[in-house]
Chain A
């Protein structure tokens, strides 16, 4: 094979977007790169056969194939069969070693970027000839997710290489998707079964934004949306053309949903809420510094759950600040309502044995959270988990280590039997 395909240029901001069409039903299926199929091997097989034939000339050869790559055994057998056939078309017949004029040791190998097929050809007393072909390896093979009939459902929305902090969907015709990234808010339109990127509104910040960047996007009635970032608030114009203006600000962020009536100050240089609350929970004006919070409304008050920096779960009811014993949730929790079950459920992140995260739903009938769903395993680590603006769902962003992409999901709780 000739030189590998090279593009001697890089232009930043060229997002390699993968678009998910919405999946009806309850199964979670992440983007899968289709493994190389039969036809994929034909080109390298032909190239290799031509090089072998040019080296050995017509005649009988022995072929020994070894697989040192991630190619499956079935594919290896397919390659052996097809190569034998292509060689025969070039006058090179594969036969038993004792009757062969040449021995070909074919190794299916690979490096970081390519499959490398190496044929070492030994002809009588001649020096060994080495010929090679290479072909690009598929980027990755993302594993399919657990598809058991679960109560927690994840609907893929969009996936991109650039981090996603939050997203919001504007129902209408066409439907629009607002994706908050670290450098811009991008507006997509749903057309022909997929999201198409449209206007991008850059986030102009006079100071560097912190690592583990977090942010929220809230739809508004008098203008399109507001964006909250650490130390920064951005607001869109109220009239066309649409623009966005960002200003340094320490305004508190709405916690959970605006209907919940609680806001918290977010550290301008860190990744957590400072604990200062507005207007507070009855008499309590502050909580320990926290990463996330969820509201569990009771008959006469709201019980607030805070996932704090020291890894504990604090329960604040307006008077008491109680630490939940034996609860080891992750940093991200979010409250959610379902139509089929009274009360509010809390969805929390947890780590699986393989280092990836899962989500699980809980209810807090008293002060002890109880599990109400199976775990929903995810294909990576949760980087954002927020209650949707309507409060009936959750937006989750998962960083997939296999693809390197940030996958956005709508998480819902379903009471299907």
Chain B
């Protein structure tokens, strides 16, 4: 009897073993095909604006430092760094044996030249084998700043750009197409795929079609389509809510009336409904600049919830008449703008939509530039053309105070934090997306379908 039970158990084990998926080692070879909506005119870290082309640029160019998934700086092209007392001068040592893809060795002089160009406020010099960075004021966040996309190390030789990354550009048609080939001499080991083909300017609909037809391996999924893409059984990878959608005003309020009107507008916007219905749960309604998962305190900024209020704030007079611009190329921006219009009308605020040209208010998206919260806040302030936040203690309370100060002039009304997502073919392995939406493509490989 015991023998029979054991036999049955063993048989069931065998069935399980046969049915189980097997873990494969990475395969070399193949071409990775990516389709994106953006139409960049250059793949140059100096001209990156937070879009998906940053993810493409990372295949060619590398930084001295990278941030891990917890926002901690880790060495990439740098081997070590050390701040001098006062945290204003930083000495960076470089990794040995690294060359740009044009054959030029990565040395202190080339790194210093690259960083000088991307950081005019820094004094950067090559000192023997190391790079010395002097910041205008004490800055404990230099390592995190070195991980920013604009600080990727580039070797510029007249019009030609070379990086140290796992791929090298082979064919480039501005705004349309980029072909990358594996860098056989890459210092961290040749990538698994032989080449990467990127098609730019592909609409969301065309991207999904290309994925379904097997003509693309990775496509973007807009925040509002994440839920549906998952329900359709696609392989979807999404970030934390990492892209700020906000209303930005062209200038500070000119008088008390205008300040009051901006307050009224902020209080009347039903961002919770925007998150749930327009964005289909692809983001969170938050009133802070930084999302809560990054700051830890974002929920403190109150989100207006119309259904919980007796009545929205209503202006005594309807004198305010603003123009609101939105990105006509952003498929969901028009819908969001229409909702804002309706909410504003309830508060007695007249807003007129314009799709181009100068406007009083602009509906825009801002990607998180860093997983380090202070650096992310400073970069957001820069993108929003606000005064740079100042830090000395680097405490969470100080960061909250700085963010509150940035919001005080009412130059910006945060609406939503949106997820960034991609869909991939099921035979791709080693693909991941960081909490802030950075694609990790370096270790990607294409699995062989089992016979």
Contacts and interface: CB of A to CB of B under 8 A. Distances in A.
For A8, A120, A132, A329, which residue has the most chain B Cβ atoms within 10 angstroms? A8
B165 interface: no
Contact of A8 (B23, B69, B70, B140): B140
B296 A116 contact: yes
A213 B189 contact: yes
Given A9-B83, A112-B371, A132 B400 contact: yes
Contacts of B140: 6, 8
Contacts of A208: 185-190
B450 A211 contact: no
B190 A2 contact: no
Given A269-B190, A328-B20, A109 B292 contact: yes
A216 B65 CA distance: 31
A332 B23 CA distance: 8
Contact of A130 (B17, B18, B300, B371): B300
A132 B18 contact: no
A162 interface: no
A382 interface: yes
B22 A9 contact: no
Contacts of B72: 113
Interface string B181-207: 000111111111000000000000000
Interface in B405-451: 435, 443, 448, 450-451
B157 interface: no
B213 interface: no
Contacts of B81: 9-10
A212 B192 contact: yes
Contact of B297 (A109, A312, A360): A109
A222 interface: no
A8 B83 contact: yes
B21 A350 contact: yes
B28 interface: yes
B299 interface: yes
Interface in B277-324: 292-297, 299-300
Given A291-B25, A328-B20, A211 B189 contact: yes
Interface string B366-392: 000001010000000000000000000
Contacts of A404: 68
B107 to A, nearest CB: 18
B30 interface: no
Contacts of B83: 8-9
A111 B295 contact: yes
Given A3-B394, A9-B81, A210-B190, A326 B18 contact: yes
A374 B23 contact: no
A352 B83 CA distance: 45
Contacts of B450: 310-312, 328
Interface in B16-52: 16-28
Contact of B192 (A3, A211, A310, A357): A211
Nearest to A1: B395
Contacts of A11: 80, 82
A210 B140 CA distance: 35
Q: How large is the interface on B (under 10, 10 to 19, 20 to 34, 35 or more residues)?
A: 35 or more
A200 B438 CA distance: 35
B396 interface: yes
Contacts of B25: 212, 271-272, 291, 330-332
A299 interface: no
Nearest to B93: A12
A3 B81 CA distance: 21
Interface SS of B by simple majority: loop
B329 interface: no
Nearest to B302: A128
Given A109-B297, A114-B296, A374-B13, A12 B23 contact: no
Given A8-B87, A212-B26, A327-B18, A109 B296 contact: yes
Interface in A210-240: 210-213
Interface string A253-274: 0000000000000000111100
Interface residues of A, number: 64
B71 interface: yes
Contact of B395 (A3, A207, A329): A3
A212 B81 CA distance: 28
A110 B296 contact: yes
A131 B297 CA distance: 10
A18 to B, nearest CB: 17
B253 interface: no
Nearest to A135: B396
B79 interface: yes
Given A6-B140, A208-B187, A328 B297 contact: no
A221 to B, nearest CB: 32
Interface string B206-250: 000000000000000000000000000000000000000000000
B423 to A, nearest CB: 18
Contacts of B79: 12
A103 interface: no
Contacts of B292: 68, 109, 111
Contacts of A111: 292-296, 373, 396
A271 B19 CA distance: 26
Contacts of A362: 17
For B16, B27, B72, which residue has the most chain A Cβ atoms within 10 angstroms? B27
Given A9-B80, A114-B296, 12 more contacts: A1-B396, A8-B90, A113-B72, A130-B300, A209-B189, A211-B26, A212-B189, A310-B448, A330-B24, A349-B23, A352-B20, A375-B16
Interface of A: 1-4, 6, 8-12, 68, 107, 109-116, 118, 120, 130-134, 207-213, 269-272, 291, 309-312, 326-332, 349-352, 357, 360, 362, 370-371, 374-375, 381-382, 404
Interface of B: 10, 13-14, 16-28, 68-75, 78-83, 87, 90, 140, 143, 184-192, 292-297, 299-300, 371, 373, 393-398, 400, 435, 443, 448, 450-451
Please list the 9 inter-chain residue pairs (A to B) with the smallest Cβ-Cβ separation, ordered nearest first: A116-B296, A211-B189, A330-B23, A331-B25, A111-B296, A8-B83, A3-B393, A351-B23, A134-B396
16 contacts: A8-B82, A10-B75, A68-B292, A109-B299, A111-B293, A116-B297, A212-B192, A269-B184, A269-B190, A310-B451, A328-B22, A329-B22, A330-B24, A331-B23, A332-B23, A350-B23
